[in-house]
Structure 1
């Protein structure tokens, strides 16, 4: 007899739900990042795309690597998806999402630019988000050689990368860098307050629960009093003039309600938002690429992206 689940998510994600991250130990996090870095060096994009790597200057002159995924048969200038990966602000989990980034590039005929921002184990706020900003500046400055149409840039990210993406949208607006045409937030972190209904009711949800969320914010905001500007996107006081959005929380995810709350804040000032709360899903469910639920979610994301860049 199979063990009864506390949360009735789809059986597609039973194996994934057994995966548990422990972010309490900095030593373990550093080891995880070393392993991820080694894995990434051998990770290839989809057969229909090409990956190139570049070096730029990040926050305070630090080194910033960027990967660029381009459709093989690309010609002329293409729209761009600037993608910030997740990992609780603490881990470089990009290898797990390389296939998804390649699929975005292939199915939407876009250039996908991915900054390897420094994480908070050694570099607390604001390094991660400022690295992402620096990488975006680099993308704009090198748009001709990258084949990027700067009038069609989408900001996207998942989990903590969703928080970075939302904050980045606020930063480029406030600093007058340029106007992104769209933002896509996948099962996003949006609030440091940890007081949403789902965070309280599903604190022990699979993959990423309340305790990991608490520790990640503690490490991310180390050395800061209160919540600095651009750290926690839901806590901003100004949601006006941000890009239209596709926001996709997962049903059985402690982060669900803060994603919904961010969508509601954008809508409250008249910004168009497609809110897609995926059913039967858990945090990071799309790591199971074979699931029909994942495939449907990918279809919805692709349609939203195509609608934005067309």
Structure 2
């Protein structure tokens, strides 16, 4: 379908701001802009408790935001360990308060959102390690947090979708944590999908091909990382044995081909996958509820399919 009017209007606002591409801005300037509108996700549900804790990863003290919806009983609840997007370079947990509070309530889950260290100062594997260790911390503290570890999944958007995919692969490979699901929102799982000169949606829809190539360069140490599935999930020799997957792509997203290919690989490997391509949408719309209504309404689809896996 045509570009959704809300997405088109948002892109017009962005164009009027006349900001250079993220690849030109560089990390420091881009981080400043990313702090400009903390309410991009829409209103924060005041009934959901938001608390901040810290855990010590192998390289740093890492903040986590914990979203606890009102309890309906004393029973333990499902859990989600979430990794935010931003190309491994920008964004932070507070920018996701509206999205995570809403999803916690809609799924009756405790959500732990990990403020992993950012590239290029902290390249792979540091952000990945922070995220996997955030999952380990959540499991270790599940009783205190009220989480049923048999109903614990991971999720993330964009670069966070990459990290969630990688953490799910590592959980499978290491065999210590059995995930209930992975929730992938327009993930970027292979740099090869923005390498060619004829990438669909390469420019004009927010995230550009040029910008995504630069973000990959910020995250990876070089060519050798491209063969590491925890950096590049598309590089995994097998995607068999992964948890049920809830996944979307956006129609007008430079990452769409990447996401579609990952979905097809997951299905071919015999995994349970529920997938939706969101018509008329652009990259990042899940975080743009203030401007794009579908960024809010997609939460119902996510919740329905997460609840299908973990129950109410």
The two structures have a TM-score, normalised by structure 2, of: 0.88
Q: Tell me if structure 2 keeps the 8 A contact 1:13–1:288.
A: no
Partner Cα distance (1:76, 1:196) in 2: 49
Between 1:113-122 and 1:218-227, the stretch displaced more is 218-227
Match of 1:256 in 2: 256
- How far does the alpha carbon of each residue in 1:197-220 deviate from its partner, in whole angstroms, 9 at most, with x for none? 897122104121101110000010
CA 271–198 in structure 1, closer or farther in 2 if over 3 Å, else same: farther
Partner Cα distance (1:191, 1:223) in 2: 14
Q: Tell me if structure 2 keeps the 8 A contact 1:153–1:181.
A: yes
CA 72–199 in structure 1, closer or farther in 2 if over 3 Å, else same: farther
- How far residue 96 of structure 1 moved from its aligned partner, in angstroms, is 3.3
CA 304–205 in structure 1, closer or farther in 2 if over 3 Å, else same: farther
2:127 aligned with 1:135: no
Q: Secondary structure at the match of 2:65?
A: strand
Match of 1:307 in 2: 308
Partner Cα distance (1:196, 1:81) in 2: 32
- Residues 216-255 of structure 1: matches in 2 within 5 Å? 216-222=215-221, 225-227=224-226, 228-255=228-255
- How far residue 225 of structure 1 moved from its aligned partner, in angstroms, is 3.1
Partner Cα distance (2:29, 2:266) in 1: 37
- How far residue 223 of structure 1 moved from its aligned partner, in angstroms, is 5.3
Q: Tell me if structure 2 keeps the 8 A contact 1:53–1:65.
A: yes
CA 22–288 in structure 1, closer or farther in 2 if over 3 Å, else same: same
Match of 2:50 in 1: 51
Q: Secondary structure at the match of 1:247?
A: strand
Partner Cα distance (2:197, 2:133) in 1: 34
Q: Secondary structure at the match of 1:190?
A: coil
- How far residue 189 of structure 1 moved from its aligned partner, in angstroms, is 1.1
- How far residue 16 of structure 1 moved from its aligned partner, in angstroms, is 2.3
Q: Tell me if structure 2 keeps the 8 A contact 1:190–1:258.
A: yes
Runs of 5+ unmatched residues, structure 1: 1-6
- How far residue 12 of structure 1 moved from its aligned partner, in angstroms, is 1.1
Partner Cα distance (2:97, 2:197) in 1: 29
Q: Secondary structure at the match of 2:66?
A: strand
Partner Cα distance (2:252, 2:263) in 1: 18
Q: Secondary structure at the match of 2:172?
A: helix
Aligned-residue Cα RMSD (Å) equals 2.5
Runs of 5+ unmatched residues, structure 2: none
CA 39–252 in structure 1, closer or farther in 2 if over 3 Å, else same: closer
Q: Secondary structure at the match of 2:148?
A: strand
2:268 aligned with 1:274: no
CA 115–304 in structure 1, closer or farther in 2 if over 3 Å, else same: same
The two structures have a TM-score, normalised by structure 1, of: 0.89
CA 202–79 in structure 1, closer or farther in 2 if over 3 Å, else same: same
Match of 1:70 in 2: 68
